Chains A and B, each alone.
Chain A
Amino acid sequence: MLSLSQLLRIGRRITLALSLAMLCSVVAAEELVVIVNPGSGVEKLSRDEVINIFLGRYKQFPSGLAAQALDTDPLKARFYAELVNKPLADINAYWARLKFSGQTRPPIQAEHTEAALSFVSTQTSGIAYIERSKANKQVRIVFTLSPP
């Protein structure tokens, strides 16, 4: 015979699992992850570090190694929405300002996920973002984006 508290605990777990499953069903796609070259020496990156790198503030990894960001076109909007909660238009406006009058360069623009993979796996400075399931052994996941 289960006690009341036991029953409540079980109930709570079931609710949690169901909601997670529901969330997952709502969000059709997978999580996005930020990947770097394994040889970069970067193990983990904080959210702020990711922001700084992708938005041109930092041009190097914390280790001092140069960093070159890459945007993947299909995932770009979602990435920035999840990263800084800003629409793509704002990001474009941001880069428009810097491109016009500044010396900071925006990330490289790629059309496919495969480009991101190949870029990061071949360049130690590379940093990009892909769906988790797409990540292979040639890249290291350093940050996971959680949906807002």
Chain B
Amino acid sequence: MNHSRPKHTPLEKLSSHVRSRLMLSAMLSILGVASIFGLLVIGGSYFMLRNNEQQRLYQGLEELISAVEGTAKVAAFADDATLAKEVATGLFSNPAVARVVITANTKTLVDLDRPNAHLNAQASQPLSREIKSPFNSKEIIGVLKLYPADEHVRQAATDSAQLLALLLSLELLGVACAVSWVVFAKVTRPIGSVAHDLHALKFTAGDMIWPPRGNEKDEIGQLVGDVNMMVARMQSLLLSERDLRDAIENSEEKFRLIFENAEAGIFTLDKTGRLHSWNPAMARLLGAEHFSAESNPALAQILACPQEKLIALIEQSSQNAESVWADFARGDIENNSEHFHIVLNPAGIGMLQGVCNDITERKRNEIRIRNLAERDALTGLLNRRGFEFRANDILSHAGPASGLTLIAIDLDGFKAVNDTLGHEAGDHVLSEVAKILEQSVRKSDLIARMGGDEFVILLINQASAETARGVARKILEALKTPILVSPDSPTHVGASIGLALWQPPSEALDTLLRRADQAMYAVKHASKNGFLLAASSDTI
């Protein structure tokens, strides 16, 4: 923090003064005004002075005449040329006198020119004085004519006027210099130093300008004080602005962290389904390759879903001003399909804000759990629960022409295999049987392992009993092939199969199952390794 008065070197001071245009212009202005004023005043007064001086000199001559008047009277009265000449000579002691003529009673007593006078001392108008009788003031006895040396008078007046003009000029110059100095010392220098300091101000904390010495209490000091106050205020404003900026940056950083690091994809969308902004999670979830090329990628395209589905969702959100969601699947249904959960909210005019979550795992879990619930772990076939669930569903939607046939299968000789070759061998046999069954029917038919070595098949859309018998035969035929439990122990199992045709319109599943079971038991207790179709009218 700079709290000490900055020291300027003398050279710095001098150079800054020379460069100070204010000072120079002020001084030039003062000198200019003084010059103009001086020229006008002195110029005007010069002539006035000269004329005054001339008048004064002529007046002086009049007084001179008065001085010699007494003697002139005597000389004129006595008609004395010698005395008259003495008077004239005396008058010549004044250099302004060029010629003296004294006449007494029309007789010229004396007519003298100044000795060594300039030749062109011809006067236009002589000063004339009537000489009165010394003994009778009413009687005029002569005339004294004094011819002034106009040249001399003019010169003397000019000299005098010039001297005065010079003095005035010097005085004016002195005053101008004094005023310049005072203006410099009192105004321009302090202002200049203040301006210089202000220019060099760095606006760092605590930086301030100093009032020039001697100006602390006057307007300049006040200006400096106000400037410092302004600077301090500006600095505090800058500081608070910086703090504000920092706070904003922190806040933005927080949101950015959330936005950038969110696990879920966050995005904004326009009404045509084009993405306007998205966080890195979006690219990670949906594949970065979709987001590199275009500035506004189409979401439907990324999700590989029909545009209409997305638009419908957008419309629903916008029109109802509510949050909507939908699940989107991408890829093959069978292998590696991805599932995304999209939530859309209206956000501003023409825009929506959305969240995208990858629910593939969840979906897989759902499937897995359902599978766990619905499928037999060993064979992958439906288990009892799964079969009943699905079969009930089919039966509830089935019509008279649905052609549903239930096949109940019980393996023959399986227990023996389990006991003799072990559970692992038994499991393997079951797996193989499951495969055989799957191969024997279509994909749309239901196959289930009901428990132990019991299997059921529900044929769907197969018209007749004959078809069912055909399937049973195929199965029995396939089971003839021994199953290799281990490389060197072929095993062989048979099957007792019961068939039951579903009785429309609304035969219940357990009734159907029972009928098929009964047919199967009939085979088991009889010959084994065969099949029997349950009679349609059989009831329990």
Counting CB contacts under 8 A, is B226 at the interface?
no
Per-residue contact bits, chain B 55-86, to A (CB 8 Å; 1 contact, 0 not) = 00000000000000001001101111111001
Contact A86 B75 (CB under 8 A): no
Please, what's the 1-or-0 string for A64-102, where 1 marks a CB less than 8 Å from any CB in chain B? 000000000000000000011010000000100110011
Q: How far is the CA of A85 from the CA of B344 in the complex (A)?
A: 146
Which of chain A's residues has its CB closest to B141's CB? A57
Q: Which of A48, A57, A83, A84 contacts B78 (CB 8 A)?
A: A57
Does A56 sit at the interface, judged by CB under 8 A?
A: yes
A57 touches B77 (CB 8 A): yes
Contacts of B78 in A (CB 8 A): 55-57, 98, 102, 104
A51 interfacial by beta-carbon distance below 8 Å: yes
Q: Is the CB of B136 within 8 A of A102?
A: no
Give the contacts of B30-72 with A (CB-CB under 8 A): 71
Chain A residues with CB under 8 A of B77: 55-57
Q: Is the CB of B83 within 8 A of A97?
A: yes
For the side of the interface on A, what is the size category? 10 to 19
Contacts of A83 in B (CB 8 A): 135
Q: Which residues of chain B come closer than 8 Å to A48, judged between CB atoms? A: 136, 139
The answer to whether A86 and B80 touch across the interface, beta carbons within 8 angstroms, is: no
Q: Which residues of A contact B86 (CB under 8 A)?
A: 101
CA distance A104 to B83 in the complex (A): 9
A-chain residues with CB within 8 Å of residue B75 when the two chains form the complex: 102
The interface centre, meaning the residue of B74, B79, B80 with most chain A CB atoms within 10 A of its CB, is B74
CB nearest neighbor in A for B86:
A101
In the complex, which residues 129-166 of chain B have their Cβ closer than 8 Å to any Cβ of chain A?
134-136, 139
Tell me if B79 and A57 are in contact (CB < 8 A). Answer: yes
CB distance from B263 to the nearest CB of A (A): 143
B 186-235 contacts with A by CB, 8 A = none
Q: Which residue of B lies closest to A51 (CB)?
A: B135
Nearest-CB residue, chain A, relative to B82 = A102
A103 at the interface (CB under 8 A from B): yes
Asked if A101 and B135 sit within 8 Å, CB to CB, the answer is no
CA distance A103 to B71 in the complex (A): 14
Q: How far is the CB of A100 from chain B (nearest CB, A)?
A: 8
CA distance A29 to B135 in the complex (A): 24
Residues of A with Cβ closer than 8 Å to B?
A: 48, 51, 55-57, 83-84, 86, 94, 97-98, 101-104
Q: Which 6 A-B pairs have the closest CB atoms?
A: A102-B80, A102-B83, A84-B135, A104-B78, A101-B86, A56-B78
